[in-house]
Structure 1
């Protein structure tokens, strides 16, 4: 089985619609794909409808990637198969999603002060109905020729954490995120915990504490982790009794990574499904 447990659609900052993402996942030969847009479940219904029409044996795992912060450091928490209507987790997702607009406006203002003629109207157009994020601001910068691609905007010169045009947003405490995901019947996995090229990462001592607080797993096989990092994280996960997942973190054309570039072992996926009580995977024909 080929299982990719981390992808994004136009419901947040990916370039594929949820329906196109499902079709592309099937075309890439995946057996299981998880839709984990940032702080929203807005793409789930469209993805589920596309799955019903697909006519291929693909399984869809519903989820989200929750924005968290601890000790001034941003981190992301993947949440799988939770009840999307559980009130506390739903309220927190809405707080983060709504604050994304304020944050993006501030980043646009900072860029304009730096001489970059980005407009809020264009960023809104690029976000469409999805949750606006830094990649939409970065895409507007690419259109203006300020940077050659989206990744090049995520530097200290521009939009990286602490960068000249960076702005913070409302984010969950990760311990609260683990609690809320569990309360909603879901499974929590710390996303790309050692992605140092994105900026500062939380120390491993926090990961140890999160494991004690009920964290289910960590994302080990990821494009932002080199071979040595993967080996270290796999040993750490084993020592802490955590699940070790792998995934693409696919964003369509906004990143060069391909669907299924990294995958999760079938036995790990089965354990995730067995732990979840908030929702079940959706299966195509």
Structure 2
């Protein structure tokens, strides 16, 4: 059972399991959250709700509140943008179709990335990458990193992203995904609350302008994830100022991937007041599960 730190609940609204590119199953993820003292955790796998049922059962077992969510991959002018969608209807046909199309495109793009890397002498094959993807999981760039780790080329995923897997790498290949405004509309139509993940991260090429965020707010955006490992003081200040001007909530989270990244559960958190707004702006079809 997780504990409350300093009288306030520990709310972490961004974490991944093996259903996408995390290294822990949904059950292991919730056990880790409990051990880390997290009171409320969001499972937000990339473009899939496939871990929701297992996570819900584990949340009840470990006494951790659960926010069921997704991280929707978006593209804006060739730049990658990520949108967290909380408490959506998992059966909404339009959102489900968009997520399925994105997952299929992600898989085919990995083959092209690996081919480009291999042609430059980087020792990795597509079969080695597929061996790193759990059954039914959404494939992604971290699985290329895992293949390189397995073969002893690098020691950690972060090395692969610094050298070869960033958006501006010569090996980067895009994949189909909705634009951020469309993604906000899809999440809202599915009854959920959309929040931009790490909007100003320094590890990706830019693209999220104030004008785009204003348009997303007009479409129904609920918040900005200001407190994140990839945000320094300047990025946090920019995100919080924009949130205040646009009437958005500010969230914080770990973006935990298990052993795949250095991020630790609960290292950045969200206030109960912000979570209450996210709940209020959702339709109630999917609700926060509380212990």
TM-score when scaled to structure 2? 0.93
Selected match of 1:232 from 238, 243, 246: 238
Matches within 5 A, 1:33-182: 33-54=41-62, 56=63, 58-129=64-135, 130-155=137-162, 157-182=163-188
Q: CA RMSD in A?
A: 1.2
Give the Å deviation of 1:79. Answer: 0.1
d(CA) in 2 for partners of 1:144, 1:162 = 25
- How many equivalent pairs are there? 281
- Contact 1:188–1:215 (CA under 8 A) maintained in structure 2: yes
1:142-179 Cα offsets, whole Å, 9 max, x none, are 23333332111113x41111312211111111111111
d(CA) in 2 for partners of 1:177, 1:235 = 23
SS at match of 2:265: coil
Question: Residue 12 of structure 1 corresponds to which residue in structure 2?
Answer: 20
d(CA) in 1 for partners of 2:199, 2:85 = 15
Residue 286 of structure 2 is aligned to residue 279 of structure 1: yes
d(CA) in 2 for partners of 1:152, 1:200 = 21
d(CA) in 2 for partners of 1:128, 1:34 = 20
Give the Å deviation of 1:251. Answer: 0.5
SS at match of 2:149: helix
Q: Which runs of 5+ in 2 are unaligned?
A: 1-8
Q: Which range moved further: 197-206 or 159-168?
A: 197-206
Q: Which runs of 5+ in 1 are unaligned?
A: none
Question: Residue 249 of structure 1 corresponds to which residue in structure 2?
Answer: 255
- Contact 2:26–2:51 (CA under 8 A) maintained in structure 1: yes
SS at match of 2:234: helix
- Contact 2:77–2:207 (CA under 8 A) maintained in structure 1: no
Residue 274 of structure 2 is aligned to residue 258 of structure 1: no
